[in-house]
Structure 1
């Protein structure tokens, strides 16, 4: 299986937690309470994004 890498941007939110943006995947945005959770959520969001886009 081929491994793909995506750059993610983490933005600390004033009310707490982190918003994650995947610049190379339009509208692929997620959130986590901690940096670790945000990274895991990003992995899941990327996987779901690719599944959905591949279905079209």
Structure 2
């Protein structure tokens, strides 16, 4: 399981990022779509690392800092 950050951008799209996988970002018209898309992106990201015999970054489930 990977921690993700979900937020709405200025164009009303939902953006979702996986901080432990640098550059792993997706979006969707709804929260549900964005979350489904990031699951697919995470799976593809990890598969690409494995294919290239690169290490898979460990998840850091520390409590994120809150930003207002």
| TM-score, normalising length: structure 1 | 0.87
Larger Rg: 2
- Long gaps (5+) in structure 2: 53-68
- Give unmatched runs, 5+ long, in structure 1: none
1:46 aligns with 2:53: no
Partner residue, 2:3: 7
> Between Structure 1 and Structure 2, which shows a larger proportion of helix residues?
1
- Look up the match of 1:20: 16
**Which 4+ runs in 1 deviate beyond 3 A?**
none
TM-score (norm 2): 0.73
Which residue of structure 1 lines up, in the alignment, with residue 29 of structure 2? 33
